[in-house]
Amino acid sequence: MDQPAYTRAAALPQLLQQRILIIDGAMGTMIQRYRLGEDAFRGERFKDHPKDLKGNNDLLVLTRPEVVRQIHEQYLAAGADIIETNSFGATRIAQDDYGLGGIAHEMNVAAARLAREACDKYRTPDKPRFVAGALGPTPRTASISPDVNDPAARNVGFDELRAAYFEQASGLLEGGCDLFLVETIFDTLNAKAALFALDELMEQTGERLPVIVSGTVTDASGRILSGQTVGAFWHSVRHAQPLAVGLNCALGAALMRPYIEELAKVAGDTFISCYPNAGLPNPMSETGFDETPDVTAGLMEGFAQAGFLNIAGGCCGTTPEHIAQIAARVGRYQPRCRHGALFGDLVAA
């Protein structure tokens, strides 16, 4: 499958053939370290907003941009090649829950600009840095009924999702993102709406950015929430010609291994990304998850050694310390070959 000619991040395909690239870790986990209260989320601009705003992490790009900037820079200092914008829930659909749907576009522009500034600060000729415009799944699902007594019921439609994703992506593009990341996919129909919107946006603007698609296997069934196996998920999104396809969230690396291995086998004509959680939730730990950086990095090293990876990083519970150790451990291995199975060989020091 030939990749399209990219107008941004054109160097990414070649870099992915040269080494395993590192994507950043959790944003929410890091925000929790700042122990921000309701006033911090509101800022001066939203001090009289009628709804509670604490927990609306996407809003911090407007009310506490210095926090988001510091987190981006910590991940870049740890060795991340790709930084995700703080826009996981910055769609009109998600922000309507807070009464802020009308500023969704503004939030995405600001999120991309913050990440852009951080990447530009840390980039070097030998290590370019890339901004991934993050598009989350939204709190609604187009495939699953919210009413157990009415299987046909839906709380969102394809066109509504498409419009929300188009608005989000246009803001991320305006703010300076290099690529798009459709992530934490639990419903492939939602993802299809996002991919449709991205294609529509790129057709209108003449820009052609790489797209990474990342699904979420929710449990030991090996399926995403809307019922597809990993293989079926890939074949449902393959038409979009993503630069990479992968898995993130829900599971730690140990439980994710059989599914990333399957994806690496069936998606032979694209690159593979993987950024799992730091194990299982553990409210007694500092990050809220079980695994220390050394444990997570060791598991990811096993993925690299087996030849599964082109992009590696972390999701919930991971920190700059996790990312630094993942970068050090997987950096010793050759990346997976896009055009067929290739078991990782240790790079000579």
- pLDDT tens profile 208-232: 999 999 999 998 889 999 899 999 9
How confident is the model over 172-187, as a mean pLDDT?
97
* 348 pLDDT higher than 70: no
DSSP character at residue 5: P
Burial class (CB in 10 A: 0-12, 13-18, 19+), 2: exposed
Two tokens at 27?
């944003």
pLDDT in tens, 55-80: 999 999 999 999 999 999 999 999 99
Q: What is the pLDDT of residue 222?
A: 92
Q: What pLDDT, in 10s, does the model give residues 292-318? A: 999 999 999 999 999 999 999 999 999
Rounded Cα distance between 160 and 172, Å, is 19
In this prediction, residue 163 carries a pLDDT of: 98
- Structural domains for the chain: 12-330 (3.20.20.330)
329 CB neighbour count, 10 Å cutoff: 23
Could you give the residue ranges of the DSSP H alpha helices within the chain?
12-18, 27-33, 38-42, 60-63, 65-77, 92-95, 104-122, 158-175, 188-205, 230-237, 253-266, 293-305, 320-330
Residue 37, classified by CB atoms within 10 Å of its CB into exposed (0-12), middle (13-18) or buried (19+), is: exposed
Q: Which pLDDT belongs to residue 2?
A: 63
State how far the Cα of 47 lies from the Cα of 65, in Å rounded to an integer: 16
Cα(151)–Cα(136) distance, rounded to whole angstroms?
24
User: In the sheet that 211-215 helps form, which strands lie side by side, from edge to edge?
Assistant: 21-22, 311-312, 271-277, 244-252, 211-215, 179-185, 130-135, 82-84
Percent of the chain having pLDDT more than 70?
96
What helix, strand, coil percent values describe the chain, rounded to 5? 45, 15, 40
Encode pLDDT of 125-158 as tens digits: 999 999 999 999 999 998 888 887 888 888 889 9
